Amino acid sequence: DTKGLFEFVEEEYPDLSKHNNHMAKVLTKELYGKLRDKQTSSGYTLDDVIQTGIDNPGHPFIMTVGCVAGDEESYEVFKDLLDPVISDRHGGYKPTDKHKTDLNFENLKGGDDLDPNYVLSSRVRTGRSIKGYTLPPHNSRGERRAIEKLSIEALTSLEGEFKGKYYPLKSMTDAEQEQLINDHFLFDKPVSPLLTCAGMARDWPDGRGIWHNDDKTFLVWVNEEDHLRVISMQKGGNMREVFRRFCVGLQKIEEIFKKHNHGFMWNEHLGYILTCPSNLGTGLRGGVHVKLPKLSTHAKFEEILTRLRLQKRGTGGVDTASVGGVFDISNADRLGSSEVEQVQLVVDGVKLMVEMEKKLEKGEAIDSMIPAQK
């Protein structure tokens, strides 16, 4: 009774007429009808995938993704929706494309000589998902706790520069909390409706915590928007060192998870699998806080960033404004290029922009320095 089917799809299809996100642009009524009665083996459905995009119509200027994965399988079962979304978000990445992973820090050229008079701090972050568990929009309390337990075991076994301590969110003392806030390490219960509508704040703060090394240069968030968020950072411009620590630390952690038969989710098409399609591939955001008061007001600033494949943010992170001419500059790409390639772009691009800034300080023109599109 195909008439019944059409009526049914008509009744269930969300009203996306006022929406501006990648999901809304891709999800036609026909596609909705095709995918509506599928689920992954953990029971995640199309409605679950798209709920956040329905509840958050978006902004005329900022294109959000509008869908999430509930498990590794989501990227397969709902590929007819997610492939076009991925393509739109990641510069035309095709379903047949292969993603290169390169976490060999020795392949990075330079990166240890960014001028600390301009580059105030350097940071690299990524996310990792633990194979065999469903993702934060969907996982049960039992799964979340198991992820926490495995993470604690992996992290607390680290030694040397990686020796550190885990602070579970639900039992940290006031003193510990104060310290973590002062170090700018503490993460809060998500308030962004992009995350809460996807169910990622359920059961807060059960199973959530923060681990960092004694040196406070390597930090892991457990069970926030992804199973793990891994951050390497330090003051100054030695991005090379930050990246080295990042790669070495990740590798050590991955070994321990693999020993428990729970390695990281990864495949050769999408790279590292994370909750939000925007973080597929490397999931890597490598960036600096850099003083560019003159360059940032130059007419060609945006053009330069685009050509260098970089993006700017305020120093409060995503969706914040810059303060005092200090910008957060990081790689724009995540999927289709490797970790080394992305950090190389940051290193080379920031070096060039600092030179431009110096030129502008001397009253000289920078037109000859403007790069070709990378």
Partner 1 sequence: MASSFTRMISGRNTAVMMAMGAGTLASAYLLTDSTAAAAEIRRRYFPHSADYPDVRKHNNCMASALTPSIYARLSDKATPNNWTLDQCIQTGVDNPGHPFIKTVGMVAGDEESYEVFAELFDPVIKDRHNGYDPRTMKHPTDLDSSKITSGIFDERYVLSSRVRTGRSIRGLSLPPACTRSERREVERVVVTALSGLKGDLAGRYYSLGEMSDREQQHLIDEHFLFDKPVSPLLTAAGMARDWPDARGIWHNHEKNFLIWINEEDHTRVISMEKGGNMKRVFERFCKGLKQVEHLIQERGWEFMWNERLGYILTCPSNLGTGLRAGVHIRLPFLNKDPRFKKILENLRLQKRGTGGVDTAATGDTVDISNLDRLGKSEVELVQLVIDGVNYLIECEKRLERGQDIKIPSPIPPFRK
Contact footprint for partner 1 (CB under 8 A): 1-2, 4-5, 7-8, 11-15, 36-39, 41-43, 45, 47-48, 51, 54-55, 140-143, 145-146, 170, 196-197, 201-204, 206
Residue (47 or 241) nearer to partner 1, CB: 47
Structure-token match 């699998």, residue found: 273
Of 26, 28, 25, 24, the residue nearest 10 (C-alpha): 28
Is 318 assigned to a binding site? Answer: yes
Nearest approach, Cβ of residue 40 and partner 1 (Å): 8
Nearest approach, Cβ of residue 5 and partner 1 (Å): 6
Residue (166 or 301) nearer to partner 1, CB: 166
195: Cα separation from own chain's centroid: 13
Residue (19 or 289) nearer to partner 1, CB: 19
Is 89 assigned to a binding site? Answer: no
Nearest approach, Cβ of residue 190 and partner 1 (Å): 12
By the 8 A CB rule, do 214 and 164 touch? yes
Is 212 assigned to a binding site? Answer: no
Nearest approach, Cβ of residue 37 and partner 1 (Å): 5
Residue (14 or 263) nearer to partner 1, CB: 14
Is 123 assigned to a binding site? Answer: yes
Nearest approach, Cβ of residue 150 and partner 1 (Å): 13
Is 309 assigned to a binding site? Answer: no
Of 72, 88, 73, the residue nearest 23 (C-alpha): 88
Going by the DSSP 8-state scheme, the letter that residue 268 receives in this structure is T
Residue (3 or 362) nearer to partner 1, CB: 3
Residue (48 or 357) nearer to partner 1, CB: 48
Nearest approach, Cβ of residue 183 and partner 1 (Å): 26
Distances (CA, A) of 230 to 109, 206, 219, 296: 23, 20, 6, 29
Going by the DSSP 8-state scheme, the letter that residue 231 receives in this structure is E
Is 262 assigned to a binding site? Answer: no
Is 121 assigned to a binding site? Answer: yes
Nearest approach, Cβ of residue 306 and partner 1 (Å): 36
Beta pairing partners, 230: 126, 220
Element (H, E) at 154: helix 141-156
Is 313 assigned to a binding site? Answer: yes
Strands (E), 7-158: 119-128
Residue (5 or 181) nearer to partner 1, CB: 5
Binding residues: 121-125, 184, 229, 285-289, 313-318
Binding residues for ATP: 121-125, 184, 229, 285-289, 313-318
